Amino acid sequence: MSKIIERFIRYAKIDTQADETSDSSPSTAKQLELSRLLTQECEELGLQDVSLSEHGVVMATLPATVSHEAPTIAWLAHVDTSPEYSSEQVNPILHENYAGGDIVLPGDFTKVISVALNPALADLIGETIITTDGTTLLGADDKSGITAMMTAVEHLLIHPEIEHGPIRICFTVDEEIGRGIENLDLNALNACCGYTLDSEGWGRIDSETFSADLAIITVRGVNTHPSEAKGKMVNAIRVLASFIDRLPKGNLSPETTSGREGFMHPYHIEGGVSEATARIILRDFETELLFAQADLLNLHAGTLRVEYPEVEIQVTIKKQYRNMRDGMEKEPRALSKAIEATDAAGMTPTLDIIRGGTDGSLLTEAGLPTPNLSSGQHNPHSPLEWTSEKEMQAASNVLVELAKLWGQETA
């Protein structure tokens, strides 16, 4: 087993699932297990200024090897995995010398990674593919990014003849629930720009993301015993179901949109007769269209309040993140050097938009321009998740080239 695969599997087997209903930071204590391991590994590698905050944020410094004062850049990845599917007892499966064709997952034969829906597999014949067994997430989002970062760090330490400036290493928590920089001290990070390793495949550079909000719809009905409910009961479940049914069906949903089209996605519902809630994520590349989605939700709520005057309907909108595009001009070299580094690493740079968000969205909005780079992950938030040794190594190679390029600059 190669070192990069061994490193990825070590990280993937640690359950780091985030919990959006938790108010603690990190939202789950189990994320700290990986944060502690990464802290230990940074110390063992000989990085400087290694720290682990009480909230699970890991920081360290890879010292410069150039004699002049070069700009400090930051590399970032997140330790948590999505709350949308189980991360318990992850069993990574190695498909060595991949021969092509669909991949049937051994833990659940109904789970198949098809070539038709995963065309990137065609470029990986003969390589090692890593999948789940079909019963959990793999955690390649974002443990492939962590693996690429640590591999690049180790390579630069083994080869001090490679000239580069100071690099800040940072691992965050709770990215998957939109709280990735909640307790990240940007002054302590102290970089001119950052790079998150949290995009698909290889050679991809994301300079735009969705803008995003979360809508929480709460319906409070009137409950009584069903034997005497006539004229008295107002079932919150039925009212909430009516609310969901009024959302657009032919557009504004993940299953009907692509490219720059936004959507409204109800993804979680719970409750009973007296109270029921739904969580709906709102997404669009243009923030004003995001606000229009919230207006539509409030319009539906108002209509239902007229139809069911005994019911209380509450619409709560929580800001999550904004399109990173608007903050990139603060440090234009961040994007241009990502393009140059990808080319230098032997790949064709592909500028893309991401129909989601990363810590880079929040970091850019907070004043640290942070493009998002490929890390080798595919099918995130799904038991069909997979990565490959070749793509993680490619991501690591891009970071090494970035280090060289920024080392040629003067602060």
The helix (run of H) or strand (run of E) holding residue 240 is helix 236-245
pLDDT at 354: 87
pLDDT at 321: 87
| pLDDT range class, residue 411, cuts 50, 70, 90 | confident
Cα(130)–Cα(91) distance, integer angstroms: 10
Cα(224)–Cα(274) distance, integer angstroms: 9
Mean of pLDDT values over 53-59: 97
Burial class (CB in 10 A: 0-12, 13-18, 19+), 227: exposed
Q: Determine how β-strand 193-200 pairs with β-strand 372-377.
A: parallel
Mean of pLDDT values over 28-47: 98
pLDDT in tens, 100-147: 999 999 999 999 999 999 999 999 999 999 999 999 999 999 999 999
Cα(402)–Cα(164) distance, integer angstroms: 9
pLDDT at 1: 83
Task: Let me know if 175 is a catalytic residue.
Answer: yes
Mean of pLDDT values over 216-232: 96
Sorted by where each begins, the domain ranges of the chain are 3-209+323-407, 211-321
Mean pLDDT of the chain: 96
* Amino acid residing at 185: D
DSSP state of 186: H
pLDDT in tens, 229-267: 999 999 999 999 999 999 999 999 999 999 999 999 999
Cα(351)–Cα(338) distance, integer angstroms: 10
Mean of pLDDT values over 396-408: 98
For 240, the token pair is 């909430």
pLDDT at 125: 98
Q: Which of 58, 63, 65 is nearest to 37 (CA)?
A: 58
pLDDT at 229: 94
The domain 211-321 is classified under which CATH number: 2.40.40.20, 3.40.50.300, 3.30.70.360, 3.40.50.1110? Answer: 3.30.70.360
Mean of pLDDT values over 53-73: 97
| pLDDT range class, residue 392, cuts 50, 70, 90 | very high
Indicate if the pLDDT at residue 155 is higher than 90: yes
For 159, the token pair is 């080869």
Burial class (CB in 10 A: 0-12, 13-18, 19+), 63: middle
pLDDT in tens, 269-325: 999 999 999 999 999 999 999 999 999 999 999 999 999 999 999 999 999 889 999
pLDDT at 323: 92
| pLDDT range class, residue 178, cuts 50, 70, 90 | confident
Asked if residue 26 lies in contact with residue 174, where contact means CB atoms within 8 angstroms, the answer is yes
Q: Which of 339, 351, 359 is nearest to 18 (CA)?
A: 359
pLDDT in tens, 184-199: 999 999 999 999 999 9
pLDDT in tens, 366-382: 999 999 999 999 999 99
pLDDT at 235: 96
For the chain, the farthest-separated pair of C-alpha atoms sits apart, in whole angstroms, at 83
Indicate if the pLDDT at residue 326 is higher than 90: no
On the CB side of 242, CA atoms within 13 Å amount to 16
Burial class (CB in 10 A: 0-12, 13-18, 19+), 147: buried
* Residues sharing a CB contact under 8 Å with residue 195, sequence separation 6 or more, in sequence order: 73, 74, 75, 76, 334, 338, 360, 370, 371, 372, 373, 399, 402
DSSP state of 220: E
How many whole angstroms from its chain centre is CA 72? 24
Q: Which of 319, 322, 216, 188 is nearest to 277 (CA)?
A: 216
| pLDDT over 70 percentage in the chain | 100
Superfamily designation of domain 3-209+323-407? Zn peptidases (3.40.630.10)
Cα(153)–Cα(148) distance, integer angstroms: 9
pLDDT at 356: 84
Q: Where would I find the H helices in 264-388?
A: 287-307, 333-344, 359-365
Q: Which of 80, 213, 359, 389 is catalytic?
A: 80
Q: Which of 141, 142, 174, 175 is catalytic?
A: 175
* Residues sharing a CB contact under 8 Å with residue 9, sequence separation 6 or more, in sequence order: 1, 92, 130
Indicate if the pLDDT at residue 358 is higher than 90: no
Mean of pLDDT values over 160-171: 98
**For the whole model, what pTM was predicted?**
0.86
